[in-house]
């Protein structure tokens, strides 16, 4: 199932997943923010994978520059059963990365073939102008404090500490 | 830039814990990780050396629940504090919505704090972010140490807090001030999403 943070990536990402027959697909900004994904069950796991993929990409790009004078555009890793492919694309909002994992149902050639289609689709997709209205209520702090206090299992409030003498 | 999905009503914000080596950035995340129930957090990812010094980053995703009808998630990152990991800090800082600067309150660490704060400003500037307007809070960590070893909150303010941003005394190892710091930066980051000026820039 596809879930997206940016609706304009949904159709091209779905087409890629269906055509390339991959297990996981994750489209992210290079900063690690998620654009869309397929195959993950929990949103927090998606964010962890995105942070690591952004890290891999940044590292490999710099390694490429060091060794070759220019950054590598894609990375392939073959595990025992699953394979991983990470590559760059461009959108009207700037560069993005695709991390995808696949098994024997697919192949690197197939993934690369359909990634080129995805790359082309993303480059030419129409991105809507963001809504200009403020979105959070003025008193959002009340909900923020309540939620954070619940998260930490405590009542909102500050504790002071005194240095030991 | 915070990622906002109007269709599914979700907000995701990236918060980076910055500061000199051994100031307690990873300790902050470990404490948060230990406090938050499993269903509201992801795995804590730590790319560290064999001696547990941060090599690339630590990462902890949190589900903050619903705020103004939006499912709100925070991505907490740390950077490696040691001076020679400059390139890595730049990468982790990309796309940050807010920064927690974790200062070491020990008097002998003052120069390291100042150097790291200058490094933060330079790296923000290099990424086209205005260091004067990026949501920032300071945490004066290790305030539990003996008085003769540490600087007071007022003295640290004088040395580091020239922007007059919210600051929090902390003992991150025991969790004191960690919650308040996170609340402080989350409030500043989300406030931007509540103001018309920020909304217009999205």
User: Mind listing the pLDDT tens digit for each residue in B135-181?
Assistant: 999 999 999 999 999 999 999 999 999 999 999 999 999 999 999 99
Q: Which of residues 135-174 of B touch A (CB under 8 A)?
A: 143-147, 150, 169-171
Query: A12 or A138: which carries more pLDDT confidence?
Result: A12
CB contact under 8 A, A134 and B199: yes
Rounded to a whole number of angstroms, the distance from the CA of B115 to the nearest CA of chain A is 25
A103 part of contact set with chain B, CB < 8 Å:
no
Tell me which chain B residue has its CA closest to the CA of residue A46.
Answer: B42
Can you tell me the mean pLDDT for A99-128?
A: 95
Residues of chain A positioned with their CB less than 8 A from the CB of B195: 134
pTM check: above 0.80: yes
Contacts of B66 in chain A (CB under 8 A): 143, 147
Instruction: Look over chain B and give the mean of its residue pLDDT values, rounded to a whole number.
Output: 90
In whole angstroms, what is the distance from residue B190 CA to residue B199 CA? 11
Question: Cα separation of B29 and B64, whole Å?
Answer: 15
Minimal Cβ distance to B67: which of A7, A144, A158: A144
Q: Could you read off the pLDDT of B23-45 as tens digits, one per residue? A: 999 999 999 999 999 999 988 88
Contacts of B99 (CB under 8 A, 6+ apart): B15, B16, B17, B18, B93, B120, B124, B134, B135, B136, B137, B185
Query: Per-residue pLDDT for B70 more than 50?
Result: yes
Q: Which two structure tokens, joined as six digits, stand for B41?
A: 């957090």
State the complex-level ipTM.
0.77
User: In chain B, what residues touch A10 (CB-CB under 8 Å)?
Assistant: none
Chain B CB contacts of A51 under 8 Å are: 45, 57, 59, 61, 75, 77
Residues of B in contact with A150 (CB under 8 A): 65
Nearest to A165 among B1, B147, B180 (CB): B147
Nearest to B68 by CA among B10, B16, B119, B151: B10
Does B64 contact A145 at a Cβ distance shorter than 8 Å?
no
Q: Is the confidence at residue B90, as pLDDT, over 60?
A: yes
Residues in chain A: 165
Answer for the pair B101, B167: CB distance below 8 angstroms, yes or no. Answer: no
Is B34 part of the contact surface with chain A (CB cutoff 8 Å)? no
What does B6-48 look like in DSSP terms, one character per residue?
A: TTTTEEEEEEEEE-STTSSHHHHHHHHHHHS-GGGB-PPEEEE
Q: Do A161 and B144 touch (CB under 8 A)?
A: yes
Q: Where residue A104 falls among pLDDT bands split at 50, 70, 90?
A: very high
Q: Which of A56-70, B26-40, B80-94 has the highest mean pLDDT?
A: B26-40
User: What residue in A sits closest to B37 (Cα-Cα)?
Assistant: A151
Q: Compare CB distances from B68 to A51, A131, A135 and report the shortest one's residue.
A: A135
Nearest to B146 among A143, A151, A165 (CB): A165
Nearest to B154 by CA among B141, B142, B140, B144: B140
Quick one: average pLDDT of A22-44? 90
Contact A7 B5 (CB under 8 A): yes
For residue A3, which residues of chain B lie inside 8 Å, CB to CB? 8
């Amino acid at each position: 199932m596809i879930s997206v943070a940016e609706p304009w990536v949904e159709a091209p990402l779905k087409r890629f997943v269906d055509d390339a027959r991959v297990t996981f697909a994750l489209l992210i900004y290079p900063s690690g923010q998620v654009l869309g994904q397929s195959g993950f069950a929990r949103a927090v796991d998606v964010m962890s994978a995105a942070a690591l993929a952004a890290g891999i990409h940044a590292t490999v790009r710099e390694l490429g520059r060091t060794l070759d004078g220019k950054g590598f555009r894609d990375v392939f890793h073959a595990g025992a059963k699953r394979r991983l492919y990470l590559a760059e694309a461009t959108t009207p909002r700037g560069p993005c990365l695709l991390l995808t994992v696949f098994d024997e149902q697919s192949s690197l050639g197939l993934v690369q073939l359909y990634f080129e289609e995805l790359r082309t689709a993303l480059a030419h997709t129409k991105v809507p102008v963001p809504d200009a209205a403020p979105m959070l209520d003025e008193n959002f702090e009340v909900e923020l404090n309540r939620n954070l206090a619940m998260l930490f299992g405590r009542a909102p409030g500050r504790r002071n500490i005194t240095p030991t003498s | 830039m915070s990622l906002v999905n109007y269709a599914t009503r979700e907000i995701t914000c990236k918060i980076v814990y910055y500061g000199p080596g051994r100031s307690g950035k990873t300790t902050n995340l470990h404490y948060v990780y230990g406090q938050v129930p499993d269903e509201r957090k992801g795995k804590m990812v730590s790319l560290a050396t064999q001696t547990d010094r941060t090599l690339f980053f630590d990462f902890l995703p949190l589900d903050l629940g619903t705020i103004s009808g939006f499912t709100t998630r925070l991505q907490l990152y740390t950077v490696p504090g040691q001076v020679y990991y400059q390139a890595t800090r730049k990468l982790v800082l990309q796309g940050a919505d807010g920064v927690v600067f974790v200062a070491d309150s020990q008097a002998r660490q003052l120069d390291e704090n100042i150097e790291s704060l200058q490094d933060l400003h330079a790296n923000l500037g290099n990424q086209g972010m205005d260091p004067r307007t990026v949501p920032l809070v300071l945490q004066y960590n290790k305030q539990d140490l003996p008085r003769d070893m540490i600087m007071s909150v007022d003295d640290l303010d004088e040395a580091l807090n020239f922007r007059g941003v919210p600051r929090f005394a902390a003992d991150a190892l025991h969790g004191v001030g960690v919650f308040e710091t996170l609340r402080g930066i989350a409030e500043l980051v989300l406030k931007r999403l509540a103001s018309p000026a920020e909304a217009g820039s999205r």
